[in-house]
């Protein structure tokens, strides 16, 4: 059995075979090569951007040196706000001496008690409780001296009552004043 294929049919079959060959070449050869090339171009583009950012950072060394100097200055100024003593007993003694210097000529310190040190927001705090006697004007001056000191001090508690019913400005006041040591802790942090 022989097949007689006309010239026209041969041309159609040849065109079909050529089309199928190009179709297969396109999907199995050209398209993967194109996708691989696009992926390589993206990788190169990302690496070029990384190198450009790296050079931008290198060109900003002066900026980062200034930032480092500013950070060191901030560290130095913050170090002055904390007590230099590392032991809580010595820091409490320094705090008592500081409070006594504030009270000169304004209030009379009747009693001083050093409380147990504690961590507040991860920083070691040394609280002292003092009882003072003064009039309202001198008490406000004493509190202003505490607030305006270079050391970081907070007044956690303030209880005041009149001592003399005839003189309403004569006050008995109990204060819980806290100073801080530049020592960080990992214990539970209590909010201020």
- The domain ranges of the chain are 7-59, 88-184
In eight-state DSSP terms, residue 106 is: T
**Total Cβ atoms within 10 A of residue 111:** 9
User: Structure pTM?
Assistant: 0.59
pLDDT digits (tens, 9 = 90+) for 74-105: 888 888 888 888 888 888 998 899 888 888 88
Provide the token pair at 59: 């060109």
> Cα(132)–Cα(134) distance, rounded to whole angstroms?
7
Query: What is d(CA 17, CA 74) in angstroms, rounded to the nearest whole number?
Result: 80
Determine the CATH number of domain 88-184.
Answer: 3.30.70.60
Q: How confident is the model at residue 188 (pLDDT cuts 50, 70, 90)?
A: low
The rounded Cα 12 to chain-centroid distance in angstroms is 76
104-163: pLDDT as tens digits? 888 888 899 998 988 888 888 999 999 999 888 888 899 999 888 888 889 999 999 888
Rg of the chain, C-alpha, whole Å: 40
């Amino acid at each position: 059995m022989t097949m007689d294929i006309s010239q026209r049919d041969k041309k159609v079959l040849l065109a079909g075979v050529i089309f199928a060959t190009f179709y297969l070449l396109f999907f199995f050869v050209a398209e993967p090569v194109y996708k691989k090339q696009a992926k390589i171009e993206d990788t190169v583009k990302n690496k070029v951007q990384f190198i450009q950012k790296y050079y931008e950072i290198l060109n900003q060394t002066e900026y980062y040196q200034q930032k480092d100097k500013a950070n060191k200055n901030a560290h130095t100024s913050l170090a002055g706000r904390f007590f230099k003593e590392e032991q809580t007993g010595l820091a409490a003694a320094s705090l008592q001496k500081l409070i006594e210097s504030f009270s000169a000529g304004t209030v009379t310190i009747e009693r001083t008690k050093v409380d147990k040190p504690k961590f507040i927001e991860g920083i070691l705090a040394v609280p002292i409780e003092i009882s003072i006697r003064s009039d309202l004007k001198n008490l406000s001056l004493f509190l202003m001296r505490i607030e305006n000191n270079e050391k970081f001090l907070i007044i956690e508690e303030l209880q005041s009552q009149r001592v003399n019913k005839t003189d309403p400005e004569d006050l008995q006041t109990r204060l819980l004043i806290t100073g801080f040591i530049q020592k960080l802790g990992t214990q539970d942090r209590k909010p201020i």
